[in-house]
Structure 1
Amino acid sequence: MALENVVGEAPLQEHLKQFLLVLSVALGVAAASRSFSRFRDIPYTLLLVIVGLILALLDVRLINVPPEVTLFIFLPPLLLKTALDLNWSLVKHDITIVFLCSTIGVFLTITGVTITLTSLTEISPLIALLAGASLSATAPAPITALFGRLGVNQRLVALTDGENLFSVAIAIGAFVLVMDLPTDLNFASINLIPILENVAKLAGIGLVMGGIIGLIFSYLIHRSDLRFIGRSLLLVASYGTYLLTEELGGSGVVAVIVTGFILGTYGVSEMNPHKKEVLSEFLGFVAFLVNSIVFLLIGDKINFSNLGDNLYPILIGIVTVLITRAIAIYGTTYFGNQLGYSNIKLSEQTVLWWSGLRGSISIALALSVPIVLVQSQTLEAVVFGVVLFTLLVQGLSSKWLLKRLGFLYEEHLQEKYLQLIARTVALKQILTHLNEEEMTQRWEVDPRFHQYRNCVEEELKRLEKEIEDYTNQNPSLKQVANEQLKRELIAMETGIYSAFVQSGLLSDPPPLLLPEVLQDRA
């Protein structure tokens, strides 16, 4: 019996060693990307892909994770965090365009990839459809990771994340439907009625389950006193929602997104600011951990010989994906702007187009196709090739594009501008203190008091003039000033509520009012 236990534990220990190795390498690369200045402008997820590619070239394979396990382990927390953090008050102003962009984008990608691959290569219709469905799921995480650090406006972040959420849900649903089609597919014999019924079933069960679970967990998380209970409930909400909905025959992706929306709107948003920050940081760490492992494994799974044998269909896939996404983004937003549904600038449309990276979801979907299926290796090569192009070419050029389109300011200029604002705020508080009645009565006879006060007033005027000059020379910095003012006001509101709690007048701070009010006035 003891010998059986030892034999049974050996594979488990080996798997644990492999997992810890992957975790160590992933976190090491992610930490290095923030520690060395030359790597800070590159999203850490792209560095992980590059490291994975190097390991693949050296034929060092870290761990073999089944694709279905990849989706189950990594997808729920990433979806929940994106849905939870998404600024729905911003998205709701462009919800029609965001939904249409994602829906039309998925449809055009599947259609375009299918037509070009079947027309220009010998790839079968079913494999072409599977490739199109796999590549229709966007993954802008490497670019949106730069958005927050480089000061890109929140509306563009919300548009990118919102379009990504919808496209992932629709793409995975489309892939599931295509997998049910016969291997000897003939487009003329396709019956749309069962397909539409299946779509309604997947979406309907997902919406219902996501809504029910979202409301339940909103209630539980809002009333949980201990921090670790709230964190545990978030994990249960992500994985439990996904698993339960999939077991009932619905779309786990749709359910998790709906749950995240409800939690973000009614659950976490109504908590006191400190508790909300704790839960947000925890889910952020989980997403960071998951992203680190996923993007390292993307590079590690590359089969270079397979890519080399399928360069032509890969090139066709890259061109088709870029063109279909351009049509979806520019076409939809143009008509949306003309009809008054949105007001998305051309520069914002370009960023939305270029941020349509493909990543772990596309690869997991492609790898989930049975190996016995004819041309499955070709499918993997096309998807891997397109994913590599989008990650390395589009991902690494994203900062350059943002600068060219005017979304980024010179970093030293922005830093200097914010320093001027901070000094102005500090001097205004000092001047207010010097002008208090108690101070004037106490030091009025001392000439140094008046000298100090005059000095502060003169320096304050100089700083205000310098800020005005900066703004006139660089009009784009006005957005930075607006964001800074919002943060100051929200911080002031938070501080006042905390003072009421500390004095015992309130047991818990009420939900913040200014974030929603200021957004509605924007």
Structure 2
Amino acid sequence: MGIEANPVNFSESLEPFLIVLSVSLSVATLSRTVPLLRKIPYTLLLVMVGMGLAFIDVRLVNLSPELILEIFLPPLLFEAAWNLSWRKLKANWFAITLLAIIGVIISVLGISLALNYFNGMALPIALLVGAALSATDPVSVVALFKELGASKKLTTLMEGESLFNDGVAVVAFLLLVGIPLGTETFSLSGTVAHFFTFVGIGVGIGLAIGFSLSLLTQRFDLPFVEQSLTLVAAYGAYLLAEELGGSGVISVVVVGIVLGNYGSRIGMNPRTRLIVSIFWEFVAFFVNSIIFLLIGDQIRFANLASHLPLIGVAILAMVLTRLVSVFGLSTLGNWLAQSNIRWQEQTVLWWGGLRGSVSIALALSVPQSIAFRQELIDIVFGVVLFTLLVQGLTMQFVLKSLDLIGDQPLRQEYAELVSRQLALMRVLAKLEQKDNFPEIDAELFRYKQELVEGQLASVKDKLQALMQSHPQLKEVAAKKFDTQLLDIEAETYAELIREGRLDENLAPVLITLVTEPDPS
């Protein structure tokens, strides 16, 4: 006896998703095509559209914590970790570690004690609010960094802290949620032991999956299979770590860093690596387009209005604790590890510590049996809304005021001239093989050849003038050259392994020659 499908239920589930997808992609498209809207990061624009829908009481779908934590969060974390340079991360590891661990502790204690003292909120509930709001989510800020050409160092600090910060915040939340339920009692030694267990299992699984997949992809060259394996790795690492009692967030971050910095170098040729990177860029855009719209759509204005005192105290406490942690810990890092984080960069790290999807998911995951659950959710939503709309929309002004806008337009002009030069050189090389065009009149052929030569000469002159006017572009050219050499070496080893002429991978010897320009 066959199983009958239920097209009605399927249609009812599909329609809301298609509406969300249509609205979110329409908004994201308009944000890139309408000049007035281009000044607003598209994720923040999505939040505002979602708020507009919520204001007229149009609810698209129910934003459940499982939807964010298990479906949306792994690809967002993986994409960020895949693109995070290990060399830059290692250069700033001390500052990032301080902000991701000590910074979370400062945030949890500062927010919870403020709510407990000024509003009389029970400390176990206040601790949950603090843990939920300690997870930063600077998606919009990092996108703005890339668009404006902010320094790679600043981007690495912001992204690196956020990735590990999320993992630590989730672990802290899971440890604290049992206290109001009566299933856990707080003890410093027990909490520390649980913390290292969560993190250790997550790191171990991430490393195992990352390195195993890296070695596997050396054996074949199938771009779409390798692309699919990265998707399986992202979700598999998260689910396996959670199943074994570890941190799924930490596991995904670790596997993303391993595959992005090691696996993609030894097991993927440059073409495959580009395909995988483009795929994950699309996935991140797709997921962000949906999730930020749904965050705005979940706002309950009446609830927020009734809890304004709580929200106000939480916002003030969050801003002040972020101020203390960023400036205090950065100063400590500068002193102990010569991190060289300038006060301008510290200011951006402080004001750019937005809250978003992870905070929302943690708040919604609080069990129904916990008292004051709705107050907790309303506080978190209110604070997230403040960070996205107030801090997020003023970040460009802050960057410009601190003179941290980079030379992205200049780099774009340089990249375009280099690309035109390469394309015209290939056209000219083809034209030099005159036998390939026997049907073309000789005089017309020479005319066209002279046109191409003239265009190539013009491009070379512009490129030379640009390099002379902006000597810093020599560092960009040198970096691209070093990366090309490293790609050729890594691709050769992978090809020899696929052909059976090499049994095991060789570490690239040119890795020591790849120099990074000073990000400061």
- Interval containing the TM-score (normalised by the shorter chain): 0.7 to 0.9
1:341 shift after superposition: 3.3
Partner of 2:371: 374
Equivalent residue in structure 2 for 1:482, among 469, 475, 484:
475
Partner of 1:14: 12
Tell me whether 1:237 sits opposite 2:230 in the alignment: no
Q: Any conservation in 2 of the 1:89–1:519 contact (CA below 8 Å)?
A: no
Which whole-Å CA distance do the structure 1 matches of 2:15 and 2:26 have between them?
A: 16
Which whole-Å CA distance do the structure 1 matches of 2:188 and 2:23 have between them?
A: 47
Q: Any conservation in 1 of the 2:354–2:391 contact (CA below 8 Å)?
A: yes
Tell me whether 1:26 sits opposite 2:60 in the alignment: no
Q: Letter of the aligned partner of 2:305 in structure 1?
A: G
Partner of 1:109: 107
Equivalent residue in structure 1 for 2:253, among 240, 257, 276:
257
Residues 10, 145 of structure 1: alpha-carbon distance in 2 compared, 3 angstrom cutoff: same
Tell me whether 1:204 sits opposite 2:197 in the alignment: no
Residues 261, 464 of structure 1: alpha-carbon distance in 2 compared, 3 angstrom cutoff: closer
Q: Any conservation in 2 of the 1:272–1:511 contact (CA below 8 Å)?
A: no
Deviates more, 1:457-466 or 1:274-283: 457-466
Q: Letter of the aligned partner of 1:240 in structure 2?
A: G
Residues 373, 88 of structure 1: alpha-carbon distance in 2 compared, 3 angstrom cutoff: same
Deviation string, structure 1 residues 237-275 (Cα, Å, up to 9, x no partner): 011111111111111111111111221232012222111
Deviation string, structure 1 residues 7-47 (Cα, Å, up to 9, x no partner): x4423321111111111111111111111222222211111
Partner of 2:336: 339
Tell me whether 1:348 sits opposite 2:341 in the alignment: no
Equivalent residue in structure 2 for 1:129, among 127, 130, 143:
127
Equivalent residue in structure 1 for 2:223, among 219, 222, 227:
227
1:419 shift after superposition: 7.7
Partner of 1:90: 88
Q: Letter of the aligned partner of 1:115 in structure 2?
A: L
Q: Letter of the aligned partner of 2:224 in structure 1?
A: F
Equivalent residue in structure 2 for 1:213, among 209, 212, 218:
209
Q: Any conservation in 1 of the 2:171–2:247 contact (CA below 8 Å)?
A: yes
Which whole-Å CA distance do the structure 2 matches of 1:278 and 1:223 have between them?
A: 18
Residues 412, 174 of structure 1: alpha-carbon distance in 2 compared, 3 angstrom cutoff: closer
Query: Secondary structure, in 3 states, of the residue corresponding to 2:179?
Result: coil
Q: Letter of the aligned partner of 1:316 in structure 2?
A: V
1:58 shift after superposition: 1.0
Equivalent residue in structure 1 for 2:62, among 58, 61, 64:
64
Partner of 2:446: none
1:158 shift after superposition: 1.1
Partner of 1:403: 400
Deviation string, structure 1 residues 71-120 (Cα, Å, up to 9, x no partner): 10011111111111101101111101111012121111100011100000
Q: Displaced runs of 4+ in structure 1, greater than 4 A?
A: 183-186, 409-423, 456-468, 478-481, 488-499, 510-516
Which whole-Å CA distance do the structure 2 matches of 1:19 and 1:461 have between them?
A: 53
Q: Letter of the aligned partner of 2:117 in structure 1?
A: S
Query: Secondary structure, in 3 states, of the residue corresponding to 2:180?
Result: coil
Partner of 2:326: 329
The TM-score, its normalising length taken from structure 2, stands at: 0.83
Q: Identity across aligned pairs (percent)?
A: 42
- Structure 1: state its 5+ residue gaps: 434-452, 472-477
Deviation string, structure 1 residues 113-159 (Cα, Å, up to 9, x no partner): 11100000032112111110000000011010122222222121111
Residues 143-292 of structure 1 correspond to what in structure 2 (within 5 A)? 143-183=141-181, 190-270=186-266, 271-292=268-289
Which whole-Å CA distance do the structure 1 matches of 2:87 and 2:138 have between them?
A: 21
Equivalent residue in structure 2 for 1:139, among 137, 140, 147:
137
Which whole-Å CA distance do the structure 2 matches of 1:29 and 1:129 have between them?
A: 36
Residues 302, 515 of structure 1: alpha-carbon distance in 2 compared, 3 angstrom cutoff: farther
Which whole-Å CA distance do the structure 2 matches of 1:59 and 1:347 have between them?
A: 42
Which whole-Å CA distance do the structure 2 matches of 1:401 and 1:480 have between them?
A: 26
Deviates more, 1:480-489 or 1:273-282: 480-489
1:491 shift after superposition: 6.0
Partner of 2:44: 46
Q: Any conservation in 1 of the 2:482–2:515 contact (CA below 8 Å)?
A: no
Residues 415-426 of structure 1 correspond to what in structure 2 (within 5 A)? none
Q: Any conservation in 2 of the 1:218–1:267 contact (CA below 8 Å)?
A: yes
Which whole-Å CA distance do the structure 1 matches of 2:292 and 2:38 have between them?
A: 17
Q: Letter of the aligned partner of 1:40 in structure 2?
A: R
Q: Any conservation in 1 of the 2:330–2:341 contact (CA below 8 Å)?
A: yes
Which whole-Å CA distance do the structure 1 matches of 2:280 and 2:218 have between them?
A: 16
Q: Any conservation in 1 of the 2:75–2:284 contact (CA below 8 Å)?
A: yes
Residues 514, 520 of structure 1: alpha-carbon distance in 2 compared, 3 angstrom cutoff: farther
- Structure 2: state its 5+ residue gaps: 430-452
Residues 102, 334 of structure 1: alpha-carbon distance in 2 compared, 3 angstrom cutoff: same
Q: Any conservation in 2 of the 1:421–1:467 contact (CA below 8 Å)?
A: no
1:409 shift after superposition: 5.4
Q: Letter of the aligned partner of 2:179 in structure 1?
A: L
Which whole-Å CA distance do the structure 1 matches of 2:488 and 2:252 have between them?
A: 34
Matched length: 487
Equivalent residue in structure 1 for 2:359, among 349, 362, 366:
362
Which whole-Å CA distance do the structure 1 matches of 2:211 and 2:486 have between them?
A: 28
Query: Secondary structure, in 3 states, of the residue corresponding to 1:139?
Result: coil
Which whole-Å CA distance do the structure 2 matches of 1:221 and 1:286 have between them?
A: 21
Residues 413, 246 of structure 1: alpha-carbon distance in 2 compared, 3 angstrom cutoff: closer
1:192 shift after superposition: 2.4
Which whole-Å CA distance do the structure 1 matches of 2:327 and 2:95 have between them?
A: 11
Query: Secondary structure, in 3 states, of the residue corresponding to 1:181?
Result: helix
